[in-house]
Structure 1
Amino acid sequence: MEEKYIIPAQTHIGHVHLKVSDLERSLQFYRDLLGFEVTTMYGRQAAFLSAGGYHHHIGLNTWLSKGAPPAPAHSAGLYHTAILYPTRKNLASILNRLIAAQYPLTGASDHGVSEAIYLNDPDNNGVELYWDRPKEEWPYHEDGSLNMYTKALDIDSLLSELN
């Protein structure tokens, strides 16, 4: 019998590449609002963006989707892209930016292991902005399994990080 394969623990998801209907509109969201930096453009059809100078964390293209409507909500596909912030204060900062821009949120949750803000990009792709609590603070059940949950995020507590 073949041994079960387990992916190496150091493996990370390197980037997400999204089909978008309007490249400039998506750049306004990912670059101008969320603060990603453009690392390269492929004409007017694709853009690659990063945090911190990596070749790209997000790819955007209109190769097959220029002018197309968003994917139906009740269909298979990407649920959301999750963007991990290094600190709680960083998450508070982007939340404050979204509030100032009056950008609509779709949710805000405390998951025990993390705190998360949810929104949709201009093509209705789900986006999760979150930070992970230190692993030693994660909640566990008596049997040792993670006790992840979904509770309302304390927005005021999060924003107090900015004081």
Structure 2
Amino acid sequence: MSDQPPPNPIAAGTRIGHVHLKVADLDRALGFYCGVLGFQLMQRLGDQAAFISAGGYHHHIGLNTWESKGGHPPPPGTTGLFHTAILYPSRAALADALYRLLQAGIQLDGASDHGVSEALYLHDPDHNGVELYRDRPEAEWPRKPDGTLSMFTHRLDLDDLLRQREG
């Protein structure tokens, strides 16, 4: 693979709009995503699907049981989604997410400072990987002398993060 950009790169404003997750139990998934993380239920289709968002958007996350009702997570060694990354607008908002997880007794799999971002790693009730993170301002991103990114993985100080929580 070349280090050169493709001749016709994708438009810079392109974003990932939403993710759709297969879950075994819709109520259990809503309990986590709405009850713990605080997403808002926008629409529900019985026990088959639900669409949830932050801030009233039509949906950031779709949850469905169409192929997975009562199912089990895929075994290790199979392909699939590694994690869904949920971007928080500020360090204080990420701190609030950490507080919500602690209050709900949800264990983290990890917490990392990547230089460009700070991230919390965990699994939802269906064992889907979840990353909760906030980006640092681009001017603070670590860079090599040639201007390319110099990301790293260091331990994130959770006590310091919690001190940033507003309210």
TM (norm. structure 2) is 0.93
| 1:21 and 2:24 matched | yes
| 1:86 and 2:84 matched | no
> What is residue 150 of structure 2 aligned with on the other side?
147
Amino acid aligned to 2:164? E
> What is residue 99 of structure 1 aligned with on the other side?
102
Instruction: Provide the rounded CA distance (Å) in 2 between the counterparts of 1:20 and 1:98.
Output: 20
Amino acid aligned to 2:152? Y
Percent of paired sites with the same residue: 61
> What is residue 3 of structure 2 aligned with on the other side?
none
> Once the 2 structures are TM-superposed, how far is the Cα of residue 162 of structure 1 from its aligned partner?
2.5
Of 108-117 and 140-149, the range deviating more from structure 2 = 140-149
> Once the 2 structures are TM-superposed, how far is the Cα of residue 97 of structure 1 from its aligned partner?
1.3
| 1:115 and 2:135 matched | no
> What is residue 15 of structure 2 aligned with on the other side?
12
Gapped runs of 5+ residues in structure 2? 1-5
> Once the 2 structures are TM-superposed, how far is the Cα of residue 161 of structure 1 from its aligned partner?
0.7
**Displaced runs of 4+ in structure 1, greater than 2 A?**
none
> Cα deviation per residue 1:78-134 (whole Å; 9 max; x = unaligned)?
000000000000000110111121111100000000000000001100000000001
Amino acid aligned to 1:102? G
> What is residue 157 of structure 1 aligned with on the other side?
160
Instruction: Provide the rounded CA distance (Å) in 2 between the counterparts of 1:145 and 1:46.
Output: 42
> What is residue 77 of structure 2 aligned with on the other side?
74
TM (norm. structure 1) is 0.96
| 1:35 and 2:38 matched | yes
> What is residue 64 of structure 1 aligned with on the other side?
67
Amino acid aligned to 1:47? A
Amino acid aligned to 2:80? G
Gapped runs of 5+ residues in structure 1? none
Amino acid aligned to 1:138? W
> Once the 2 structures are TM-superposed, how far is the Cα of residue 16 of structure 1 from its aligned partner?
0.1
Instruction: Provide the rounded CA distance (Å) in 2 between the counterparts of 1:162 and 1:131.
Output: 13
Amino acid aligned to 1:32? G
